Amino acid sequence: MAIYGTALLCICLLIGMIVGKLLGLAVGVDANVGGVGIAMLLLILACDRLQKSGKMQPPTERGVAFWSSIYIPIVVAMAASQNVVAALRGGPMAILAGILAVGIGFALVPVISQIGDSDSTEDSSSSLPGKES
Amino acid sequence: MELLELMEGVLTKYSLVTAFAVIGVTVWVSYFLSERLTKGRIHGSAIAILIGLILAYVGGATTGGRQGIADVSVLSGIGLMGGAMLRDLAIVATAFGVRMDEFRSTGLTGIVSLLAGVLSSFFVGACVAYAFGYTDAVSMTTIGGGAATYIVGPVTGTALGATDEVRALSVAAGLVKSILVMILTPFIAKYIGLDNPRSALIFGGLMGTTSGVAAGLAATDPKLVPYGAMTATFYTGLGCLLGPSAVYFVIRAIVS
């Protein structure tokens, strides 16, 4: 039944969030450290197990897949409930800080991609040097 | 006008249902515009996110609230639909079908990108703060935190005892960042090689804003979402950890 899949997804998220909070407490910060990431790992592991043992029925899969397919609409709703006014009201300093932070982030993506490439040359998959001009 | 009141009553009472209907129509219009006006060059979801942000501005400007269009009472369900709870549920669901070994091989790169992302944001934010006359270490670190994410900023500011004004500025910087990542990612993606799981993972670690990364990757290629989201989810925690400690000490040592 679809609810089995949805319940599995929800249980993974709840465990992940609790572990993330505990990790935050352990390192002394008031934030969730990697809760969503941990939940994703749990879901991947659980699905892998269930699929290999043949216990993952198609209806169960649909109970997870639905939430994955509703993802973009949820993101649109998230965008529509952002505090855009406050972002603009922050004035030139906030806007400049935001722009530069984004700019440096974009610029570093190819840099770090290459660092990793040279680290793992033995797994000759596609990491030819200089493939991206 | 009784009919209007009656409708308003239903829409407000069934707010989440209203939200699904409104967002569904918005997405449909966006994909229509994408196909007709841009011949699919600008992805439908990118347009949908942009419309969402415009709605958020209109909502915020007319109601004076902090939740964008969700502060309009008949549309309050959009706040629930796009809130942290359902967002995180949907992000985790995108991991369904991802293979474990795709993550395993990128562990170290993920950590490198996280550190580079957090530290470079603090650096840039602190420099901008200094240039605008906030030359004390507490304000510089707090605004630097805002350049990381809109959660790291106020958390750092509270820990260090920054002023209300500086904390508000740090939130604004983080919001600007998150919105820019949402809008720009699909256009920049091809120039920075953001087209495979590995670079998405690095991108998530460098940007860190979960909402920005989630929306930016969705508009670029939905298949990349779980990878970017995976590293981004560690970013805010790392920022809150390093901000009031290591980063603050370094900045204090430099400016004083």
B174: nearest Cα among B103, B248, B122, B252: B122
Model confidence band, residue A117 (pLDDT cutoffs 50, 70, 90): low
Indicate whether this model's pTM tops 0.90: no
Mean pLDDT of each 10-residue bin along chain B, 256 residues long = 89 95 96 86 81 92 91 94 90 81 75 93 94 91 92 85 85 89 91 90 92 89 88 85 86 88
Residues of chain B contacting residue A71, judged by C-beta atoms under 8 Å apart? 90-91, 93-94, 218, 222, 225
Confidence check: pLDDT of A128 > 70:
no
Residues of chain B contacting residue A96, judged by C-beta atoms under 8 Å apart? 128
Give exposure, B171-183, as e/b (b: 16+ Cβ within 10 Å): bbbbbbbbbbbbb
ipTM above 0.85, yes or no: no
Determine the distance in angstroms separating the CA of B5 from the nearest CA of chain A, rounded to an integer: 24
Instruction: Report the distance separating Cα A117 and Cα A107, nearest Å.
Output: 17
Per-residue pLDDT at A98:
92
Residues of chain B contacting residue A85, judged by C-beta atoms under 8 Å apart? 57, 60-61
Per-residue pLDDT at B1:
73
* Residues counted in chain A: 133
In the DSSP assignment, the letter for residue B192 is G
Asked if A39's CB is within 8 angstroms of B90's CB, the reply is no
B216: nearest Cα among B225, B256, B5, B173: B225
B13 vs A115, residue with greater confidence: B13
Nearest to A85 among B57, B97, B117 (CB): B57
Residues of chain B contacting residue A24, judged by C-beta atoms under 8 Å apart? 237, 240
Cα B42 off chain centre by: 20
Confidence check: pLDDT of A124 > 60:
no
* Interchain CB contact of A33 with B (< 8 Å): yes
B212 touches B128 (CB < 8 A): no
Q: What is the pLDDT of residues A15-65, one digit of tens each?
A: 999 998 898 888 777 777 778 888 988 998 998 888 888 888 888 899 999
Residue among A109, A122, A125 with most chain B CBs within 10 A, to mutate:
A109
* Tokens coding B45: 């979801």
Determine the distance in angstroms separating the CA of B75 from the nearest CA of chain A, rounded to an integer: 10
Per-residue pLDDT at A116:
60
* Interchain CB contact of B175 with A (< 8 Å): yes
- Could you state, in order of their start, the residue ranges of all structural domains in chain B? 2-82, 105-255
Other C-beta atoms lying within 10 Å of the C-beta of residue A124? 8
Model confidence band, residue A123 (pLDDT cutoffs 50, 70, 90): very low
The whole-chain average pLDDT of chain A stands at 82
Residues 6+ apart with CB under 8 A from B237: A20, A23, A24, A27, A29, A31, A32, A33, A34
Per-residue pLDDT at B59:
94
Per-residue pLDDT at B22:
96
Per-residue pLDDT at A62:
92
A97: nearest Cα among A82, A107, A106, A87: A87
Determine the distance in angstroms separating the CA of A51 from the nearest CA of chain B, rounded to an integer: 10
Per-residue pLDDT at B171:
87
Per-residue pLDDT at B70:
94
Per-residue pLDDT at A84:
83
